[in-house]
Amino acid sequence: MLIRLPLLCLLVSVTAIAADLTPERYWNTALPNTPMPNSLRHLFTPDFTDEKSTDVQVGKGGVNVNAGKGKTGGGTAVNVGKGGVYVDTGKGKGTHVSVSGGKGPGGGVGVHTGKPGKRTDVGVGKGGVIVHTRHKGKPVYVGVTPGPNPFVYNYAASETQLHDDPKAALFFLEKDMVPGKAMSLRFNAEDGYDGKTAFLPRGEAETVPFGSEKFSEILSIFSVKPGSGEAEMMKKTIEECEAKRVGGEEKYCATSLESMVDFSVSKLGNYHVRAVSTEVAEKNAPMQKYKIAAAGIKKLSDDKSVVCHKQKYPFAVFYCHKAMMTSVYAVPLEGENGLRAKAVAVCHKNTSAWNPNHMAFKVLKVKPGTVPVCHFLPETHVVWFTY
């Protein structure tokens, strides 16, 4: 199949064409002085990292991109020259080509071959040429019962969750954040999938529907059976993303690393920004009793922050919200088995707009708006702040 797009030269500059912005490189471009937390770095499949080789050639005739396995007739070949764009997918397989004037790296021309999770993506726009050969195979659902997200302010807990949900133990009062205080915690509670819920590049994430009105189509794309536990879990995530804001909350569901960066920078700026996550030395550490170490509690921020909570979905989706009147702490912990953790805690000073039946109030036996409510962040969550 041969497609000619003569308008491309109007959309792309020579310097932009030469760029190859993986999600990781997008971060480094937008936040050159902000280290990426390991919790986010671990959400890249090998296909998304800078270690993946992509053949990009820039010359007088334009740009030549080959994303395949090096075999003639396999993969996708894209030739960008003065005359436009030529796309040859080989072997007659389907290709989706879109031209848009959108802003950011996703604007311009996007070429996608195959279904989400099993395809090659080539995007050409103002941000440059983006090529990704997608990870094979879809995430595996592991049977976690869907339930309300305790990090959403309008959430109401059930009695079952108070006893069974390991996230309940993550809530505590600010006055209890003192050396020697013991708490039973589990930081890496299963998020509903087998760990393959990696980021999609923004160019691909924007081609996948995300919304209640498109739910049937979403299930079809990911081969999920309607009414299954996995379908209910996905539906709950979408509903939380579409729910009304609480009080003056500013929220956004990021379906790519790039969109998470953009939202956080739009709320905090990109000067002196930090992004941190909880780090536990042992993978899949069990629930156990931790004590706050004798020294080392550090307040990182005492104003506004953006907290991004990883959701239950077939690819990485983060529920991000700007929180005012919050303090962010780094809290060193020592487990009863000698395990050490560098925990991140967020303390909310004003909870008056929260659901009175929120898990935090039931666990801590306090009322909304009376005292600061704190919670540790699970390993996969991120808090952004300025320093």
Tokens representing 320 are 């991000």
From 101-110, 172-181, 193-202, the region with the lowest mean pLDDT: 101-110
For residues 56 and 20, what is the distance between their CA atoms, to the nearest angstrom?
Answer: 8
Q: Percentage of the chain surpassing pLDDT 90?
A: 42
Kindly list the distances between the CA atom of residue 88 and the CA atoms of 2, 114, 321, in Å, as whole numbers in the listed order. Answer: 6, 14, 42
pLDDT in tens, 56-90: 333 444 444 444 444 444 444 444 444 444 444 44
User: Looking up tokens 């956004």, which residue turns up?
Assistant: 252
Higher pLDDT, 200 or 166: 200
Q: In DSSP terms, which residues pair with 303 in a beta bridge?
A: none
CA atoms within 13 A on the CB side of 80: 31
Give residue 125's pLDDT.
Answer: 39
The pLDDT-based confidence of 135 (bands split at 50, 70, 90) is very low
pLDDT in tens, 254-306: 999 999 999 999 999 988 999 999 999 887 788 889 999 988 899 999 888 99
Q: In DSSP terms, which residues pair with 387 in a beta bridge?
A: none
pTM of the model: 0.71
pLDDT in tens, 310-353: 998 999 999 999 988 899 999 999 999 899 999 999 999 989 98
What is the mean pLDDT of the segment spanning 130-157?
52
